[in-house]
Amino acid sequence: MLSPDRLLPPDPGVRRIARDLYEHVRELPIVSPHGHVDPVSLADDVPIGDIALELVTRDHYLLRMLYSQGVPLEALGVRPLDGEGPTVDGRDVWRALGEHCGLFRATPSRLWLDHTLSEVLGIDVRLGRDTADDVYDAACARLGEAGFRPRALYERFGVEFLATTDGALDPLEAHARMRASGWDGRVVPTFRPDDVVDPDGPRFRENLARLAGMTGEDTETWSGYLAALRRRRGAFIDAGATASDHGHPTAGTADLSGVECASLFARVAAGRGEPGDAEQFRRQMLTEMAAMSLDDGLVLQLHCGSWRRHNPEVTRRFGADMGSDIPTPMDYVGALKPLLDRFGNEPALLVVVYTLDETTYSRELAPLAGHYPVVRLGAPWWFHDSPEGIRRFRQQVTETAGFANTVGFNDDARSLLTIPARHDTARRVDAGFLAGLVAEHRLDEAEAQDVAVDLSYRLARDAFRVGT
C-alpha cells in the first residue's frame, strides 16, 4: 500500500541520494522528548483495545477536520460534558472515519494513518467506506495480541526515550508504577506547570491551594509559591524528567523586581488581578522558570502562540482539545528580551522555542537561535509537523541557525501507535532536504549522512539530556 519512495524528492538523481540517506537513519532509535502518550498505558501495559477510540477520538487533528465538514463530535466518540446523548461505539466511530477519509487527502493525518495501519498493524487494505468494517476488525484483533501491548510496541519501535506531558499537580503515580515494575523502558514525565502559573486558567486559585497541599509550602506568599514550584520540579526530576514545558499564549517574558513580583502575585493569587496582570504574571513566571532551570538543569520548552478554545460553543459543550485551537501572529525578538537579558549567555541553560507562526522562522527565531547560546529551535509543531512544514522549517532556518541550533524531531503524538509514522515522515523529508544540498554540491554525501543522524537522533538526545 505504501511506496518505499514516499516523500522523497521526485528528481531521479536527487531521489537516489535521498534514498541512501534515509536508509542510513531509518532504523535509528527513536528519541521522543515531547508528546502526549498516556503514561498509564505503559505503567499497566493493558491492551490498547479499540482502534477508533485510540486513533480518532483522542486526536484533535482528526476531530477538527471532520468537524469542519459537518461530522458531529459525538459521532467521533467525544462525550458532551453534560453526559447527554447516546454512547457511540468504536465501530461506528471508525465507520464515520472511513466514510470521510477522503477529507484527509494530502494531509499528514492521512500519512500517519496509512503508516500506522500498514507498517505497524500490518493491514494492507486502504481505509474507505467499503473497507471500514474489515479494517476495524483486523486492527482490533491485532491490538489484542500480546505483541501489540504498549510495552511490546515501545520496544519494537526502538524507542530509547519517551517523555510524557504532565501537569505540575500530577502525583506521577503512573511513572512511579512503571519504575517499580522493573521494566527497562525509559518513560519520563515533563513538568508542565500551566495550571499553576496562569491566572486566567479555570481553577488557578484552587490549584494554588492544591499545590500547597502537595508540597507543604505556603502558596499564599510569593516566596512560598516559588518554593512549592521548586519542590514539584524536584519530584519530576526524581521521576526522570529532563525538561519543563510551557504552553503560553505569547512568548512574553518579564524581569520584575522582587517587590513588584510579590505584589503582582498577591493580586493574582487573591483573584484581584487588574487588566494585564495575568499576562504580566505569565511573563514573569517564564523568567522564574529559567532561573530554576539554571539550578536544577531542566530544559525549558516554550510552546506558545495558540489561541486555545477559539470556538466557545465547542468548548462549552465538549471542553478543551477538541480541535478549535487556532495559531496567532507572534513576536519573539521583543518578547524574549527580558529573559535573554538576564540569562541569554548562560552555558548551563537551554530554552527550546516552538512556533505556530512560520513567518518568524527566518526573521526572528533563526537569528535568535543563531546568536544566543541558550536558544534552540524546536521541531516544526502541530500545524507544521507535516512534510511541507518540515521542509519549510529547514529551508527558512538552516542558513542562519545551521543544524546544531535545532533539536531534532519530536512527535507530539497522542497515541503510541502513531510515533513511528511521525518520525519516519521527518526522517524522509530531512533526507530529501539534505539530498538537495548534496545535489547542489553544498554538502558531500558523507557530511549529509552525518547531519541526517544528527537530525534523526543525536540532536534530540543531546538537547534533552537523554544521556545524563
- For Zn ion, the binding residues (CB under 5 A) are 412
Q: Which helix or strand (DSSP H or E) is residue 302 part of?
A: strand 299-303
Instruction: Outline where DSSP puts E strands in 76-206.
Output: 159-163, 166-167, 187-188, 191-192
Q: Using the minimum distance from each CB to Zn ion, give the nearer residue, 40 or 262.
A: 40
Query: Which residues, 6+ apart, have CB-to-CB distance to 398 below 8 Å?
Result: none
Angle at 466 between CA 108 and CA 43, to 5 degrees: 75
Residue 183 to residue 200: CA distance in whole angstroms: 40
The packing angle between helices 90-99 and 132-143, to 10°, is 130
Angle at 293 between CA 205 and CA 364, to 5 degrees: 95
- Give the count of alpha carbons within 13 A of 393, CB side only: 28
Residue 94 to residue 97: CA distance in whole angstroms: 5
Query: Is the Cβ–Cβ distance between 351 and 275 less than 8 Å?
Result: no
Taking alpha carbons only, the member of 324, 320, 323 closest to residue 311 is 324
Q: Using the minimum distance from each CB to Zn ion, give the nearer residue, 325 or 364.
A: 325
Q: Using the minimum distance from each CB to Zn ion, give the nearer residue, 242 or 284.
A: 242
Q: Using the minimum distance from each CB to Zn ion, give the nearer residue, 325 or 412.
A: 412
Burial (CB count within 10 angstroms: exposed 0-12, middle 13-18, buried 19+), residue 380: buried
Q: How far apart are the first and last CA of the chain?
A: 41
Taking alpha carbons only, the member of 333, 321, 310, 307 closest to residue 251 is 333
Return the number of other C-beta atoms located less than 10 Å from residue 37's C-beta: 24
Query: Is the Cβ–Cβ distance between 161 and 188 less than 8 Å?
Result: yes
Q: Using the minimum distance from each CB to Zn ion, give the nearer residue, 255 or 412.
A: 412
Return the number of other C-beta atoms located less than 10 Å from residue 347's C-beta: 7
Residue 59 CB, nearest approach to Zn ion (Å): 12
Residue 36 CB, nearest approach to Zn ion (Å): 6
Q: Using the minimum distance from each CB to Zn ion, give the nearer residue, 164 or 398.
A: 164
Residue 415 CB, nearest approach to Zn ion (Å): 13
Residue with cell 541526517: 452
Residue 320 CB, nearest approach to Zn ion (Å): 13
Q: Using the minimum distance from each CB to Zn ion, give the nearer residue, 61 or 136.
A: 61
Residue 331 to residue 341: CA distance in whole angstroms: 16
Residue 379 CB, nearest approach to Zn ion (Å): 11
In this chain, which residue has its C-beta nearest to Zn ion?
Answer: 412
Q: Using the minimum distance from each CB to Zn ion, give the nearer residue, 364 or 412.
A: 412
Residue 74 CB, nearest approach to Zn ion (Å): 25
Q: Are strands 326-327 and 306-307 parallel, antiparallel or unpaired?
A: antiparallel
Q: Using the minimum distance from each CB to Zn ion, give the nearer residue, 114 or 412.
A: 412
Residue 436 CB, nearest approach to Zn ion (Å): 29
Residue 384 CB, nearest approach to Zn ion (Å): 13
Residue 77 CB, nearest approach to Zn ion (Å): 21
Q: Using the minimum distance from each CB to Zn ion, give the nearer residue, 170 or 412.
A: 412
Residue 257 CB, nearest approach to Zn ion (Å): 34
Query: Is the Cβ–Cβ distance between 165 and 190 less than 8 Å?
Result: yes
